[in-house]
Amino acid sequence: MAIRTGSELIVHTTLCKVMQPDRWMKCQDIYKDANANVIFKTYLGVEHSTNLATHQKLLEIVKSALTNQEYLTK
């Protein structure tokens, strides 16, 4: 059995060991249970890094939030 780092142990015991789809679904449940105003999106081929398409989508979301008060209060 491999020795786990502190943060890895916390993630595995708090959420779960399997990243996709188990941990991802658990994270979504936590946000939804907190009534967070979020939209979850998984980009195929993007792992622990991002790409231009991801950056552009994030920029679009932030610009929309900054210019649309209704978006912020949903």
In this predicted model, what pLDDT tens digit does every residue of 22-73 receive, in sequence order? 888 888 999 999 999 888 877 777 777 778 888 898 888 888 878 876 555 5
**In this structure, is residue 67 part of a structural domain?**
yes
Q: Is residue 27 part of a domain?
A: yes
Task: Please check whether residue 9 lies inside any domain of the structure.
Answer: no
Flag whether 41 is in a domain: yes
Domain membership of residue 2 (yes or no) is: no
Structural domain includes residue 55: yes
pTM for the model stands at 0.52
Interatomic CA distance for residues 46 and 44, integer angstroms: 6
Confidence (pLDDT) at 33: 93
Which residue segment(s) compose the domain that 24 sits in?
19-72
CB 74 within 8 A of CB 37: yes
Number of domains into which the chain is organized: 1
